[in-house]
Amino acid sequence: MAEPKSSAPPRSSSDQRNIAALPPRNSSARAELVEHLADKAKLIRRETVRLSRIAGAGHYSGTFSAAELIAALYYAQLRYQPSDPGWPDRDRFVLSKGHAAIGLYPVLADVGFFDSALLDQYTRLGSIFGDHPDMRKVPGIDFSSGSLGHGLSVALGLALAARVQGRSYRSYCLLGDGELAEGQVWQAAMAAGHFKTGSLIAIIDRNQLSIDGPTETIMGVEPLDAKFEAFRWKVHRIDGHDLDAILDMFAQLDDDPNGPPQLIIADTIKGRGVQRMELDTDWHVGNLVGADYDDVMNEIDAGLQPSIGGR
Ligand SMILES: Cc1ncc(C[n+]2csc(CCOP(=O)(O)OP(=O)(O)O)c2C)c(N)n1
Ligand SMILES: [Mg+2]
């Protein structure tokens, strides 16, 4: 296959994030940032519970496993302009596990892509918000996902487009671990390694479960690190609920758009933040009402407690 023209300028670390610079660990500025992100992860979990009740059902546990990742991406890493959703130099974000859109919409509203009051019509007739995201309707959504397996190919295409157009944006893609059973993911992984798309950042939400059981029972994905390394990726592995670790990871990403594509395997717990849901397949989709709704909201408000079901 022909190599796409390679003219993307390298990214400087100063244009990399929406925040000016990452404060060093153990500084008070860093502690403030982490607290801010933890609040935003709470917002994601709370809104997921609220919107699920409006719709009568929602994807809780796969959204909760990604809450810290989405918070850190949108409030500390991605480059975007809510007043100009189509800004050509924005970082692209492909939510390949589209069923977690219920946790992304409130973030897009919170950062200013649209009025958060619109969320009250979530999934209602005429609403722009479906259970899965529609890039033609929702400002800030870069790809209409939901059918698993396509996102990495699209994110790769966006990274190659940056190269051809001489732009310095990055292309981020958040995948599920059950999603890795789709063959197209591996075609994209192979092509990304071949084309050395260093501006492509894949994040795997390694929450151990697919829709109805453990990935390692349904379709084993490990050793994930070695598989992607064999496909010529640079691979990192972190605790996907540790905001400090996520921030450090983002700061370490290479800026060379012609280097190896970069993968972050984020070890997470499906349902993290609500004990009854942790590593329980019954909460992939559910509907909390009545006292259960209030109990779960209170639990979320209390912040992350040590996990009993997980590690
Ligand atoms: C192509 C395709 N097959 C099946 C589904 C149904 N489905 C929705 S979510 C899901 C589980 C996916 O597991 P994973 O990728 O691990 O997601 P997470 O655990 O992060 O929720 C499945 C099978 C789908 N959306 N798309
Ligand atoms: Mg999973």
Give me 185's structure tokens: 């993911």
Confidence of residue 17 (pLDDT cuts 50, 70, 90): very low
Q: Give the least confident one: 11-15, 46-50, 202-206.
A: 11-15
- Asked whether the predicted pLDDT for residue 14 surpasses 80, the reply is no
pLDDT digits (tens, 9 = 90+) for 62-78: 999 999 999 999 999 99
pLDDT of residue 310: 54
Q: Are strands 234-239 and 262-267 parallel, antiparallel or unpaired?
A: parallel
CA atoms within 13 A on the CB side of 142: 29
- What's the mean per-residue pLDDT of the chain? 94
pLDDT of residue 308: 75
Q: What is the mean pLDDT of residues 30-49?
A: 98
Q: What is the mean pLDDT of residues 226-241?
A: 98
Residues whose CB falls within 8 Å of the CB of residue 256, separated by 6 or more in sequence, listed in order: 10, 198
Measured CA to CA, the distance from residue 26 to residue 261 in angstroms comes to: 30
Name the closest-CA residue to atom 10, ligand 1: 211
Name the closest-CA residue to atom 25, ligand 1: 147
pLDDT of residue 13: 44
Q: How far is the CA of 152 from the centre of ligand 1 (A)?
A: 14
Q: What is the mean pLDDT of residues 147-151?
A: 98
Its pTM stands at 0.95
Q: Is the dihedral of CA 134, 177, 230, 250 positive or negative?
A: positive
Q: Does residue 179's CB lie within 6 angstroms of at least one atom of ligand 1?
A: yes
Q: Does residue 96's CB lie within 6 angstroms of at least one atom of ligand 1?
A: no
Confidence of residue 20 (pLDDT cuts 50, 70, 90): low
Q: What is the mean pLDDT of residues 218-229?
A: 98
pLDDT digits (tens, 9 = 90+) for 277-296: 999 999 999 999 999 999 99
Name the closest-CA residue to atom 21, ligand 1: 62
Q: How far is the CA of 142 from the centre of ligand 2 (A)?
A: 22
Ligand 2 is an ion; its neighbours by CB within 5 Å are 176-178, 207, 209
Q: How far is the CA of 179 from the centre of ligand 1 (A)?
A: 6
- Asked whether the predicted pLDDT for residue 309 surpasses 70, the reply is no
Taking the CA of 203 as reference, the closest ligand is 1
Count of other CB atoms within 10 angstroms of residue 28: 8
Q: How far is the CA of 163 from the centre of ligand 2 (A)?
A: 31
**Which of the pair, 89 or 21, is modelled with greater confidence?**
89
Q: Does residue 285's CB lie within 6 angstroms of at least one atom of ligand 1?
A: no
Q: What is the mean pLDDT of residues 52-59?
A: 98
Q: Is the dihedral of CA 133, 137, 139, 144 positive or negative?
A: positive
% residues pLDDT > 70 (the chain): 93
Residue 234: in which H helix or E strand, if any? strand 234-239
- Asked whether the predicted pLDDT for residue 15 surpasses 70, the reply is no
Measured CA to CA, the distance from residue 129 to residue 98 in angstroms comes to: 12
- Dihedrals phi, psi of 187, to nearest 5 degrees: -65, -45
Query: Alpha helices, DSSP H only, in the chain?
Result: 28-55, 61-64, 67-76, 101-111, 151-165, 183-195, 215-218, 224-230, 243-252, 290-301
CATH of domain 21-301: 3.40.50.970
Q: Which atom of ligand 1 is nearest to the CA of 207?
A: 19
Taking the CA of 65 as reference, the closest ligand is 1
Say how many residues make up the chain: 311
- Asked whether the predicted pLDDT for residue 3 surpasses 90, the reply is no
Residues whose CB falls within 8 Å of the CB of residue 308, separated by 6 or more in sequence, listed in order: 275, 278
pLDDT digits (tens, 9 = 90+) for 237-247: 999 999 999 99
Give me 275's structure tokens: 């004990």
Q: How far is the CA of 275 from the centre of ligand 1 (A)?
A: 22
